[in-house]
Structure 1
């Protein structure tokens, strides 16, 4: 069997396994938002259904609910059955469930297919996270965790743009975009090799489960809670920004597209710098810088008087979120023993989508009581406290290095 360790002779973006895993990462953003531009047309298409308005709006978050519920189980299956099988099965299920909306006869059936799509995403994300930990170590692992955030951002931008064009032709046509995942399967089939269950990989952490941090379970719980809170905060943008802009008198559809587009572009570019920033300042420094940028962005939103400040806020929030996101995966893979990387990836994946699901539930009452300025201003203060905590941890790590 070929070595599972990243070779030094070529950059990581030329490594076939890395490319295959990045292609898998690009599918995760595609899962939810691809059909967003088609929702009005889908509602009109099934206007005879008395629940059309509700079911249509549930089509986008439906996969998130499945991921949140199923990801830990997918992680256990990944550890016990194998990473390669789970990844390939997830991509094949992704194609079938995603494209099902092309032919399914009614909205309840399409909604059910979206729930199945979430199961596919859970399999893909947990297997992908475990494989990153199995294949790569140290600097190579950090590089790939940053690149996968870029893949999600840029992939989402491409797929949503394609869906917007397809929706002008037919409200069902955006479902065909999920079929693009089938083009990724040949490379994944060839490049993805199942890591050994016993022994150790040359230059990598042992796969027999005796590696990892002694207190990895407790530390992973804290990491998962932090990631859930971070995603709850970040998801204020896609869930509330259009209503905020409408309340401010903007042409909400156009401005929302611009703001969310900048959010993705900023995040994609910021994540490309993750490895360099992490090598320079460490994980605590990355959290301090990332949360600081997000705090600035939400502060600008709370006081947004011009379109320029809105766009600057989107740039800051997107960049900050894309900096902190890879660290959750990288730290979790450092903490968890090799035998439990699938479980760790599954729990991390669930926390992302639980945070997304809870975001509008938590923010809507706050908006009713304090308005958008109060919500965004309070969020900025919370992020500022998180920045201070990360900065103190950063200072302690620097002091420990010097001593």
Structure 2
């Protein structure tokens, strides 16, 4: 179901397969934008071994986009509520291709970090505008289903990008940067297929039992932001630290690291596809509790692993929990937020989502140097298990 009249031209367009596919493909560019080069990190570290603090700066190249997404997303949120969704999406896609691929030709680690910063601005624009357009086009259970598909495509994008990135990194550390050029192919699709919602026309705000108040419930919004921040700090232990953990534990190659990380995102994709069925049976807080439980068990398994297969098992369990988080957060926020504030509220989840990714190595690197990577994964798992227990108590009281 769409917020537009099904008999209108726009109402028919947003239900079409090309429009839906464009939104889903655009979404694949976002969450794993930083992690795409993860399999190349050990080779990059060797390439820039003579640079001061190379060990830290190479890891920073992975997470540099995240802080600029976090900084830029609030401005994107204000802009899309005032000037529209589509223009910002188009500019963001162009910047994504140009800035993301800069590692193909830049020889300075410092300049590569600058390119990663501009990549961050573009991802903030893409993620916020894509999710806002989904919330604009669809309502009720249709929106929940589509947000589950969006999260699944994000995860599947990670599977493809990380797997390809791993094999490309075995050839040369620069080649994974070429993956970012794919965004340029989506520019014509977004330009010609996606309609810009006319915000002067009142939108339907009550469909299939969904009623959006004109006042935003800020307590629930802030709680959702906190969940996004914490879970991304924990999640990004995988793309940031796993290649080094696997290399030390089993001597894994870049392609093996890419495949291992891709397994986690593949299970996340399956979980996201099943989100609609899960949501028909459980409320938002119960779904959070289940997601935290699976992530916690997965990370404990990774921390205790003695071989490659045991790590894969932990990644699969953690991924199944991770896949429930993104659609749950987005569906919760789009269900409770007035249309006039939608861009700003969704930009907030983007900010805290990627702020967590940026903070992850700043937290995990000193911790792993102190207690080791295995213990760091185990500690993160215990934290998620404690959070799951707390959330289950809240969910029981919510009923």
User: Normalising to structure 1: TM-score of the pair?
Assistant: 0.85
Contact 1:6 1:140 in 2 (8 A): no
Determine the C-alpha separation between the residues in 1 that align with 2:17 and 2:294.
32
In the alignment, is the contact (CA less than 8 A) between 1:5 and 1:201 conserved in 2?
no
Distance 1:6 1:15 in 2: 15
Cα contact 1:285–1:391 (8 A) shared by 2: yes
Q: How many angstroms apart in 2 are the aligned matches of 1:329 and 1:52?
A: 37
Indicate conservation of the 8 Å contact 1:43/1:53, yes or no: yes
Q: 1:192 to 1:304 in 2, by over 3 A?
A: same
CA drift at 1:238 = 2.2
| Cα distance in 2, alignment partners of residues 5 and 322 from structure 1 | 32
* Deviation of the 1:370 alpha carbon: 4.4
Q: Is 1:192 matched up with 2:194?
A: yes
Instruction: Please state how far the C-alpha of 1:183 moved relative to its aligned partner.
Output: 1.6
Distance 1:88 1:336 in 2: 25
Change (3 A) 1:255 1:88: closer
Structure 2 equivalent of residue 151 of structure 1: 153
What SS does the corresponding residue of 1:281 show, helix, strand or coil?
coil
Q: Distance in 1 between matches of 2:397 and 2:184?
A: 48
Aligned length, in residue pairs: 390
Which ranges of structure 1 fall in alignment gaps of 5 or more residues?
A: 399-403
Helix, strand or coil at the partner of 2:195: coil
Partner of 1:96: 98
- Structure-2 change in CA distance of 1:295 and 1:190 (3 Å): same
State the distance in 1 between where 2:233 and 2:46 align.
Answer: 31
Match of 1:71 in 2: 73
What is the CA distance between 1:375 and its match in structure 2?
3.4
Shift of 1:195: 1.5
CA distance in 2, matches of 1:44, 1:372: 20
Q: Counterpart in 1 of 2:241?
A: 240
Note if 1:82 corresponds to 2:84.
yes
Aligned twin of 2:353? 352
The 1-side partners of 2:351 and 2:239 are apart by 19
Q: Deviations over 1:41-80 (max 9, x none)?
A: 6667778877876654433222112112111111111111
| Structure 2 CA distance for aligned equivalents of residues 251 and 213 of structure 1 | 56
**Would the aligned equivalents of 2:215 and 2:338 in 1 still touch at CA under 8 Å?**
no
**Cα distance in 2, alignment partners of residues 244 and 16 from structure 1:** 41
Range 232-241 or range 156-165, more displaced: 156-165
Task: Give 1:401's aligned residue.
Answer: none
The answer (yes or no) to whether the contact 2:160–2:262 under 8 Å persists in 1 is: no
Please say which of residues 190-199 and 72-81 is displaced more in the overlay: 190-199
Residues 115, 311 of structure 1: alpha-carbon distance in 2 compared, 3 angstrom cutoff:
same
Residues 336-358 of structure 1 show CA distances to partners (whole Å, capped at 9, x for unaligned) of 21111111121111111111122
RMSD over aligned Cα atoms: 3.2
User: Is residue 4–residue 195 contact of structure 1 (8 Å, CA) maintained in 2?
Assistant: no
Q: How does 1:28-177 map to 2 (within 5 A)?
A: 28-39=30-41, 56-104=58-106, 106-167=108-169, 171-177=173-179
Partner of 2:284 in structure 1? 283
Q: Is the 8 A contact 1:39 1:57 kept in 2?
A: yes
> How far has the Cα of 1:111 moved from its partner?
2.5
Cα distance per residue 1:352-387 (max 9 Å; x no partner): 111112222223444455445543443333322322
Q: Distance in 1 between matches of 2:365 and 2:49?
A: 28
Gaps of 5+ in 2: none
1:111-131 CA-to-partner distances (Å, cap 9, x unmatched) read: 322211111111111111211
User: Structure 1 344/46 Cα, relative in aligned 2: closer, same or farther at 3 Å?
Assistant: same
**Residues 98, 179 of structure 1: 8 Å contact kept:** yes
Question: Displacement of 1:321 after TM fit?
Answer: 0.9
**1:35 match: secondary structure:** helix
CA contact (8 A) 2:298 2:318 kept: yes
- Distance in 2 (alpha carbons) for counterparts of 1:298 and 1:327: 21
C-alpha distance in 1 between matches for 2:329 and 2:66: 19
Q: Do the aligned partners of 1:59 and 1:111 also contact (CA within 8 Å) in 2?
A: yes
Query: 1:318–1:378: structure 2 CA closer, same or farther, 3 Å change rule?
Result: same
CA distance 1:362–1:6, shift in 2 (3 Å): farther
Whole-angstrom distance in 1 between the partners of 2:50 and 2:296: 46
CA distance in 1, matches of 2:48, 2:247: 27
Quickly say closer, same or farther: Cα 1:6–1:71, change in 2 above 3 A: farther
Question: Does structure 1 residue 382 correspond to structure 2 residue 383?
Answer: yes
